[in-house]
Structure 1
Amino acid sequence: MSSPGTVSDVPAKTTAPPGGSPLRALLGRADLRNLALLGVLAVLVAVGGLTRPEEFLSTGNLQLVLTQASVIGVVTVGVTFVIISGGIDLSVGAIVALASVWATTVATQDFGLGGMLLCAVSVGLGCGLVNGVLIAYGGMVPFIATLAMLASARGLALQISDGRTQVVRVDTVLDLGLPQAYVLGIPPLVLVFAAVTAVGWLLLNRTTFGRRSVAVGGNAEAARLAGIDVRRQRLMLYLLSGLCCGIAAFMLVVLTGSGQNTNGNLYELDAIAAAIIGGTLLSGGRGTITGSVLGVLVFTTITNLFALNNLQSDVQQIAKGAIIVAAVLIQHRTARSQTS
């Protein structure tokens, strides 16, 4: 079993004991990547404090950064599980858009907050179910199946909304985005993100579901011979990804007060990138929820810094691309050192 916060494909005897605490795991060899990400995050905060101290370090801006990270962060948790299992999900952004549009139709809003939340989650689960069935039982390549879902969900979102912005008129939903709803200065969306992260961490590191996900990603045939129902496991993983998309869609509705077919644009790329720089192998078999969350925070902080310093978005994309390339090169170097 791997150390808390990290799931690794190295032999069990090289990892921390199962009963170790998250702090001990953080100081372990397998979490050096997380420490490096914390260092990068600290450098970004220092840069923000030096260049725009009054704006960047203000309570309002820090709340904004965490809130913006929350939506994509929830999506990233689900994507991390899929990648750990050796799969990929390119449809998460489109599912968020479809769920947000469906949840903000006039008919759905008539059911209030509960109806909108249930609708968003149901749409996410439904899309995840389709992806899972096509991949696990239909034998489709995950790239192709989720790419088809991306196109279909975007098209359906456009059809439902007719290309218009659907404004939320349910006060109980809108109130969640107001400062009056903050808990000890923490926005509700951030609390939801923290809860999803905690559940994801426990699911990956403290349950048989997490161990089976790692086993399937490491060697699907060996997992099958060991008695794991690989097809069922993959189906459950895409359902989990869809669930996270549904939750994120409702969070985005609260944040923007509307539903649009353009919501979630490029979320799939941001989520995959955050998981990669957090240490999740694209080939599967290893990943960490902690690292993925830190990856989300790094990217969100970069975006915020560029916005505050009025820097062009193309430079921002170049910086993100450089970080992704560096992370992949580090992964390859680490993998070679472990096999040598």
Structure 2
Amino acid sequence: MSESPPTTTQLPAQSPPVDPAETTEAAEHGAPAASGARLSWWHGDGGEGAKRNLALIGVLLALFAIGAATRSDLYANPDWVWANMLSILKLASVVGVVTVGMTFVIIGGGIDLSVGAIVALAGVWCTTVATQSFGAGGMIFTAIIVGVAVGLVNGVLIAYGRLVPFIATLAMLVAARGLAAEISQKQTQISENSVINGIASNSLLGIPLLVYILAAVVAGGWVLLNRTTFGRRTVAVGGNPEAARLAGIDVKRHTLLLYALSGLCCGIAAIMLTAQATSAQAAMANLYELDAIAAVIIGGTLLSGGRGTIVGSLLGVIIFATITNLFAINGLSTEAQNMVKGGIIVAAVLIQQVQFGTLSQFFRRNRLTTS
């Protein structure tokens, strides 16, 4: 009589681990475990970004309230308010596109001081007589290729030449401005292409085309950062390059791609700025690098890398554009405006240091060094 084989009990598929604290809290309140997970997300890293963005929206509402209080005669007109909002978005569009590329670079642990010079070089190059003879397509292609090429040079110097990003991009700032002045012979080059010029003057459904371009670049940057392997690798490289290398990420190649992406955004911005001014010159996009870095900091991106959001950077750009608009409608000086912007930047950095403990770490290291 043969023994029957023992019956095997089929085990259920393994489920992901559940935090007991979340389960207990959900049971006590009569809520499913999923709500506890959502609550945990709100208090985690994702929640920090959402809270910061809500705070930035609050700042925008406060600026709107200040404008309504100081110029009630203008804000009483709904048509003027709508036109003014479009004007702010149009003002923020070019810097906003540059800021998207800057956000990736800073999250990846670098910095790019040459973005304004790259915009100027791409703008001058695409408005030469020879380039304009190829039409709007040739001008757009040239601006993008020049921006990406200069970004690749930055990436090669930093990733493979092992230069400090601050030094490499500072040198590129000077070199690109000089090359732009050489190409243009220090003259303003007029854009005679109606298609390019129409980018700044035409609208679709009452909204300027520049705003649509900004929205498209921001949407693409958000998807790239939050929904792709490239974005996850960017955060990893910025947070801990050595750990990223040990995890199999080619840190040098990724750094090269980050600066190429920044150059791509500069090429797009060059076309937009050329369309606004219907011309290009070596001095265009002056101090855009400071505006972009300031917007990234205001948006919550850490200067040390490894953390940041595209939406936060966009809100930072809009806040600075709103401040500029607020000072303009009240007839205040540019000097006072710059002082206010400088104070906002300092406050944002101090908040970052206190929030993430970098200030306490600095003092701790200082005490150990002194001892």
Matches within 5 A, 1:4-83: 28-53=47-72, 55=74, 57-83=80-106
Inter-partner Cα distance in structure 2 for 1:113 and 1:24 = 49
- Note if 1:105 corresponds to 2:124: no
Judged with a 3 Å threshold, the aligned counterparts in structure 2 of structure 1 residues 338 and 322 are, in CA distance, closer, same or farther, namely: closer
Which protein has the larger Cα radius of gyration, Structure 1 or Structure 2?
2
- Greater CA deviation, 50-59 or 60-69? 50-59
Partner of 2:299: 278
Partner SS for 2:207: coil
Is the CA contact 1:26–1:35 (under 8 Å) kept in the aligned structure 2?
no
- Note if 1:303 corresponds to 2:321: no
Inter-partner Cα distance in structure 1 for 2:37 and 2:111 = 28
AA at the equivalent of 1:127:
V
- Note if 1:199 corresponds to 2:220: yes
Inter-partner Cα distance in structure 2 for 1:75 and 1:335 = 26
Inter-partner Cα distance in structure 2 for 1:339 and 1:185 = 50
Q: After superposition, what is the alpha-carbon deviation per residue over 1:129-170, rounded to whole angstroms, capped at 9, x for unaligned?
A: 100011111111111110110000000111111121111111
Give the superposition deviation at 1:206: 0.5
- Note if 1:321 corresponds to 2:342: yes
Is the CA contact 2:88–2:325 (under 8 Å) kept in the aligned structure 1?
yes
Give the superposition deviation at 1:54: 5.2
Inter-partner Cα distance in structure 1 for 2:156 and 2:37 = 34
Partner of 2:353: 332
> How does the TM-score come out when normalised to structure 1?
0.89
Partner of 1:156: 179
- Note if 1:140 corresponds to 2:186: no
Q: After superposition, what is the alpha-carbon deviation per residue over 1:270-305, rounded to whole angstroms, capped at 9, x for unaligned?
A: 100100010000000101101000000000110111
Inter-partner Cα distance in structure 1 for 2:173 and 2:66 = 37
AA at the equivalent of 2:160:
Y
Judged with a 3 Å threshold, the aligned counterparts in structure 2 of structure 1 residues 34 and 226 are, in CA distance, closer, same or farther, namely: same
Partner SS for 1:86: coil
Inter-partner Cα distance in structure 2 for 1:75 and 1:177 = 17
Give the superposition deviation at 1:55: 4.5
From 106, 121, 124, the equivalent of 2:147 is 124
Inter-partner Cα distance in structure 2 for 1:96 and 1:77 = 14
Judged with a 3 Å threshold, the aligned counterparts in structure 2 of structure 1 residues 189 and 19 are, in CA distance, closer, same or farther, namely: farther
Inter-partner Cα distance in structure 2 for 1:338 and 1:262 = 37
Give the superposition deviation at 1:58: 3.5
> How does the TM-score come out when normalised to structure 2?
0.82
AA at the equivalent of 1:245:
C
AA at the equivalent of 2:142:
C
Inter-partner Cα distance in structure 2 for 1:61 and 1:186 = 12
Give the superposition deviation at 1:64: 1.7
Judged with a 3 Å threshold, the aligned counterparts in structure 2 of structure 1 residues 268 and 17 are, in CA distance, closer, same or farther, namely: farther
- Note if 1:266 corresponds to 2:287: yes
Which residues of structure 1 form unaligned runs of 5+? 1-15
Inter-partner Cα distance in structure 2 for 1:152 and 1:338 = 35
Is the CA contact 2:186–2:282 (under 8 Å) kept in the aligned structure 1?
yes
- Note if 1:90 corresponds to 2:113: yes
Q: After superposition, what is the alpha-carbon deviation per residue over 1:32-89, rounded to whole angstroms, capped at 9, x for unaligned?
A: 1111111111111122223234556433332221111000000000000000011000
Judged with a 3 Å threshold, the aligned counterparts in structure 2 of structure 1 residues 51 and 23 are, in CA distance, closer, same or farther, namely: farther
Inter-partner Cα distance in structure 2 for 1:208 and 1:17 = 28
Identity %: 61
Inter-partner Cα distance in structure 2 for 1:242 and 1:330 = 30
Matches within 5 A, 1:118-267: 118-178=141-201, 181-267=202-288
Is the CA contact 1:161–1:261 (under 8 Å) kept in the aligned structure 2?
yes
Is the CA contact 2:147–2:264 (under 8 Å) kept in the aligned structure 1?
yes
How many equivalent pairs are there? 322
Partner of 1:6: none
Partner SS for 2:304: coil
Inter-partner Cα distance in structure 2 for 1:159 and 1:339 = 48
Which residues of structure 2 form unaligned runs of 5+? 1-34, 362-371
Judged with a 3 Å threshold, the aligned counterparts in structure 2 of structure 1 residues 174 and 191 are, in CA distance, closer, same or farther, namely: same
Inter-partner Cα distance in structure 2 for 1:112 and 1:329 = 48
Give the superposition deviation at 1:336: 2.0
Inter-partner Cα distance in structure 2 for 1:207 and 1:172 = 34
Inter-partner Cα distance in structure 2 for 1:135 and 1:316 = 34
Inter-partner Cα distance in structure 1 for 2:46 and 2:57 = 12
Is the CA contact 1:277–1:295 (under 8 Å) kept in the aligned structure 2?
yes
Q: CA RMSD in A?
A: 2.5
Judged with a 3 Å threshold, the aligned counterparts in structure 2 of structure 1 residues 320 and 138 are, in CA distance, closer, same or farther, namely: same
Judged with a 3 Å threshold, the aligned counterparts in structure 2 of structure 1 residues 337 and 173 are, in CA distance, closer, same or farther, namely: closer
Give the superposition deviation at 1:19: 11
Judged with a 3 Å threshold, the aligned counterparts in structure 2 of structure 1 residues 252 and 19 are, in CA distance, closer, same or farther, namely: farther
